């Protein structure tokens, strides 16, 4: 009914807002109470709108819970993995985002599931036709790397992540991807330096893209400066393969203070 739809819409705004307004520990018992009604909206006989609503609210709530989401991992992980293969693109996209933030905040409880998660995300990336969902796969993989780098074959994952740039729809994930690249660069510079050409070429395109959020741009520029200071010759060589406009943007990025 119209009343049910209105109630759902308000709940979709209030629950994530509450998760952001209080600490994860404070929000956790409330989330536990909301969870059963939300999961009831994910049943096979539910409408696409209901499923998308439920998965979206759960994903945003996980982000608000932070580390306090760990007790919910066993219940949420299989449901989100199943929803990531739903027929509807929005349900899939929300579920993939949810898997990423669950891996980011779930702690060691999630680590044992990394092989299954990586296999799922790899399959989704190769088969997915929805560009927003592929952007969310990139964000999810980046979050997994930062949460547990030892559980991810970074040497295999990193080139795929960089080749997925530019993102298509979910531009908020730029910040996640570039934070991940910076994180790897700090831990193991060689992994990033050997892909400098790809990173410089992707960044040259993105610096001229007004859709890239400011915080992501700042993270990208900081990474570029670090790469330039470590290997200026390699950086300049990669830059020269780009159109003049992109070269100028890169030059301005690494020389500005």
- Note the pLDDT of residue 13: 79
Is residue 25 exposed (0-12), middle (13-18) or buried (19+ Cβ within 10 Å)? exposed
CA torsion angle for 159, 189, 121, 132 (degrees, to 10)? -70
Residues ≥6 apart with Cβ < 8 Å to 75: 35
- Residues 169, 220: Cα–Cα separation, whole Å: 18
| Interatomic CA distance for residues 164 and 159, integer angstroms | 9
DSSP state letters, the chain? -HHHHHHHHHHHHHHHHHHHHS-HHHHHHHHHHHHHHHHHTTSTTS-HHHHHHHHHHHHHHHHHHGGGGGGGHHHHHHHHHHHTT-SSHHHHHHHHHHHHHHHHHSTHHHHTTHHHHHHHHHHHHHH---HHHHHHHHHHHHHHHHH-GGGS-HHHHHHHHHHTPSPSS-TTHHHHHHHHHHHHHHH-HHHHHTTHHHHHHHHHHHTT-TTS-HHHHHHHHHHHHHHHHH-HHHHHHHHTTS-HHHHHHHHHHHH--
State how far the Cα of 238 lies from the Cα of 25, in Å rounded to an integer.
Answer: 47
Nearest to 53 by CA among 20, 18, 102, 4: 4
User: What pLDDT, on a 0 to 100 scale, did the predictor assign at position 154?
Assistant: 94
User: For residue 2, what pLDDT is reported?
Assistant: 56
What pLDDT does residue 256 have? 73
Provide the pLDDT for residue 17: 85
The per-residue pLDDT for 10 is 66
Instruction: Give the position of tokens 């739809």.
Output: 5
pLDDT in tens, the chain (257 residues): 555 556 666 677 788 888 888 899 999 999 999 899 899 999 989 999 999 999 999 999 999 999 999 999 999 999 999 999 999 999 999 999 999 999 999 999 999 999 999 999 999 988 888 999 999 999 999 999 999 999 999 999 999 999 989 999 999 999 999 999 999 999 999 999 999 999 999 999 899 888 899 999 999 999 999 999 999 999 999 999 999 999 999 999 998 75
Cα(248)–Cα(121) distance, integer angstroms: 36
CB 72 within 8 A of CB 112: no
- pLDDT for 172 equals 93
- Determine how many CB atoms are found less than 10 A away from the CB of residue 11: 17
Which positions ≥6 away from 235 have C-beta within 8 Å?
A: 196, 200, 224, 227, 228, 254
């Amino acid at each position: 009914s119209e009343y049910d739809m209105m109630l759902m819409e308000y709940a979709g705004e209030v629950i994530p807002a509450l998760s952001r307004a209080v600490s994860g520990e404070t929000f956790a018992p409330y989330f536990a109470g909301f969870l059963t009604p939300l999961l009831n909206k994910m049943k096979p006989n539910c409408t696409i709108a209901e499923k998308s609503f439920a998965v979206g609210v759960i994903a945003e709530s996980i982000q608000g819970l932070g580390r306090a989401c760990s007790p919910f991992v066993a219940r949420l992980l299989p449901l989100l993995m199943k929803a990531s293969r739903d027929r509807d693109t929005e349900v899939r996209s929300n579920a993939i985002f949810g898997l990423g933030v669950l891996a980011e905040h779930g702690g060691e409880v999630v680590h044992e599931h990394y092989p299954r998660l990586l296999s799922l995300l790899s399959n989704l990336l190769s088969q997915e036709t929805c560009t927003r969902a592929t952007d969310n796969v990139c964000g999810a993989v980046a979050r997994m790397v930062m949460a547990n780098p030892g559980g991810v074959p970074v040497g295999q994952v990193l080139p795929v992540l960089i080749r997925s740039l530019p993102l298509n729809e979910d531009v908020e994930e730029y910040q996640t991807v570039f934070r991940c690249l910076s994180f790897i660069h700090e831990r193991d510079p060689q992994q990033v330096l050997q892909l400098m050409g790809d990173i410089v070429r992707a960044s040259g395109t993105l610096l001229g893209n007004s859709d890239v959020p400011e915080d992501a741009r700042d993270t990208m520029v900081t990474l570029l400066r670090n790469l330039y200071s470590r290997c200026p010759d390699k950086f300049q060589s990669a830059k020269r393969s780009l159109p003049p406009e992109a070269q100028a943007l890169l030059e301005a990025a690494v020389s500005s203070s």
